[in-house]
Amino acid sequence: MKKPTPFLTERQIAKRVKELGETIARDHKGKGLACIGVLKGSFVFFADLIRNIDLPVTVDFLGTTSYGQQTRSSGDVKITLDLSVPITGKHVLLVEDIVDTGHTLHYLLENLRLRKPASLRLCVLLLKPGKLLKPVPIDYLGFTIDDRFVVGYGLDARERYRNLPYIAELPESAREEE
Ligand code: PRP
């Protein structure tokens, strides 16, 4: 099967991720940072981002689901994997690959705030503003994109394409292929 054509290249992504990491490090200078990745989509971005944050960091992960087997968010977000250690009193950076309707992050930010971190900031690689249904305060944003169905660099279509090293738009005809 033909590989999808890059929409954001490895080079464009690496440049932006470096900038984000440097900005985050500057903003948290002199502090430790608890970085939390939202599984599964953020895992590639998360791994690259933390290597560009020159601070003492810890890593942890949250698992969520709202899509089930559907391609649209149900809005009913559930935590399927919780943090392994508390974040109370810590400076926290939540890292997500994409904001679509905003349901996932709206829920997660509220949930994490209740755990009383010293600070809580959000870093997102991709935002589709046209799809937003819930307000999501993004502190660090990689790219704003149109309403395209994107895969690669951690993002999937029916669990495939997460290992593409770049981000591609997947044509409708390819979405149902095995
Ligand atoms: C994707 C993405 C976000 C969420 C964004 O996850 O990684 O978590 O959807 O959508 P929203 O803004 O409409 O809530 P998905 O549920 O596809 O799981 P995955 O990360 O395991 O691929």
143, pLDDT greater than 70? yes
Instruction: Identify whether 1 is part of a domain.
Output: no
- The vertex-105 CA angle with 154 and 118, nearest 5°, equals 110
Establish whether residue 62 lines the binding site of ligand 1, counting it when its CB lies within 6 angstroms of any ligand atom. Answer: no
For the four alpha carbons of 61, 65, 68 and 71, in that order, the dihedral sign comes to: negative
Which among 38, 24, 33 is positioned nearest to 136, based on CA atoms? 38
Tens-digit pLDDT profile for residues 93-142: 999 999 999 999 999 999 999 999 999 999 999 999 998 999 899 999 99
Instruction: Identify whether 124 is part of a domain.
Output: yes
Pocket test for ligand 1, best of 65, 73, 153 (most atoms within 8 A of CB): 73
- Residue 62 in 3-state DSSP? strand
Q: Check: CB of residue 162 under 8 Å from CB of residue 152.
A: yes
- State residue 65's pLDDT score: 82
Q: Where in the sequence is the domain holding 132, given as residue range(s)?
A: 6-175
Establish whether residue 108 lines the binding site of ligand 1, counting it when its CB lies within 6 angstroms of any ligand atom. Answer: no
> What percent of the chain lies above the pLDDT cut of 70?
93
Closest CA to ligand 1's atom 22: 41
CA of 29 from ligand 1 middle (Å) equals 30
Establish whether residue 138 lines the binding site of ligand 1, counting it when its CB lies within 6 angstroms of any ligand atom. Answer: no
When divided into structural domains, the chain yields a total of 1
154, pLDDT greater than 90? yes
Residue type, 51: R
1, pLDDT greater than 80? no
Tens-digit pLDDT profile for residues 129-139: 998 999 899 99
Instruction: Identify whether 21 is part of a domain.
Output: yes
For the domain that residue 64 is a member of, what is the CATH number? Answer: 3.40.50.2020
Establish whether residue 142 lines the binding site of ligand 1, counting it when its CB lies within 6 angstroms of any ligand atom. Answer: no
Establish whether residue 97 lines the binding site of ligand 1, counting it when its CB lies within 6 angstroms of any ligand atom. Answer: yes
Tens-digit pLDDT profile for residues 158-175: 999 999 999 999 887 777
**Positions marked active-site:** 100
Instruction: Identify whether 24 is part of a domain.
Output: yes
- Nearest atom (ligand 1) to Cα of 73: 13
Tens-digit pLDDT profile for residues 19-70: 999 999 999 999 999 999 999 999 999 999 999 999 999 999 999 987 655 5
CA of 56 from ligand 1 middle (Å) equals 28
CA of 54 from ligand 1 middle (Å) equals 28
User: What's the mean per-residue pLDDT of the chain?
Assistant: 93
CA of 174 from ligand 1 middle (Å) equals 19
